[in-house]
Amino acid sequence: MKQILVFILCYLLQAGIAQAEGWYTQDGEVVPNSDSIKSIAGFGAWLVVTPDKDWEEKWDTPPETTPYFTEASEVSYGDYLTILTFFINPALNEQGEVKLLCDIKVTRPDGTFSIDMDGIECASGVLKGNPRNVRLTSIVLKYIAEKDDLLGKWGVDVTVRDSNRRVDIPLKTHFVLKNG
């Protein structure tokens, strides 16, 4: 019985450590898991749909600078959106390399897929710097709302798979295409 209690206590302590390795605000507060930002077993992923045309400029800053991205919930014909997926604290293999795969689905209001891709390598290689640094995956999607696009709610689903840690993080968000 003592062994079971010790195992349960160790498990709970590890679970607390894993949560502590998740996302934090600038004030040091833990960010709770939501549909678009999660951490599981110390690995974190975040899905952002932004109308910021200067997102790349905002991102390409020194590590001590925190970029801010506007998140889009509505878009009109002619508008541009960029879909970004960030990650923190990936597991490394013996060579110090990270290997992340992404599944990406963008669903039109009628339920059909605009994009449906699975198992795309979205981050790999030797990890330099602090693993807790926020990094951008190599998958950056651009969306232009064209007149032929269906009005209504568009879904964005991205699953980020840390192959070394064997953890999948499913993320989702949406935006509404409206006329006007």
pLDDT digits (tens, 9 = 90+) for 35-64: 999 999 999 999 999 999 999 999 998 877
The residue count for the chain: 180
pLDDT-derived band at 11 (thresholds 50, 70, 90) equals: very low
- Whether residue 174 contacts residue 118, with contact meaning beta carbons closer than 8 Å, is answered with no
What six digits make up the tokens of 94?
């013996």
CATH of the domain at 101: 2.60.40.3880
Element housing 14 (H / E) = helix 2-20
**What is the per-residue pLDDT for 124?**
96
**What is the per-residue pLDDT for 25?**
80
- Residue 97 and residue 77: Cα distance in Å, rounded? 42
- Residue 13 and residue 28: Cα distance in Å, rounded? 20
pLDDT-derived band at 3 (thresholds 50, 70, 90) equals: very low
**Average pLDDT taken over every residue of the chain:** 87
**What is the per-residue pLDDT for 159?**
98
Owning domain of residue 55: 2-178
Bridge partners, residue 116, by sequence: 105
**What is the per-residue pLDDT for 28?**
87
- Residue 139 and residue 117: Cα distance in Å, rounded? 11
* Mean pLDDT within 112-136: 94
- Whether residue 156 contacts residue 102, with contact meaning beta carbons closer than 8 Å, is answered with no
The structure's pTM equals 0.85
* Mean pLDDT within 145-171: 97
* Mean pLDDT within 101-115: 97
- List the beta strands (DSSP E) in the chain: 37-40, 43-50, 74-76, 80-88, 97-107, 113-126, 135-136, 141-144, 152-162, 167-178
- Whether residue 106 contacts residue 175, with contact meaning beta carbons closer than 8 Å, is answered with no
What six digits make up the tokens of 176?
């509404």
User: How many domains is the chain built from?
Assistant: 1
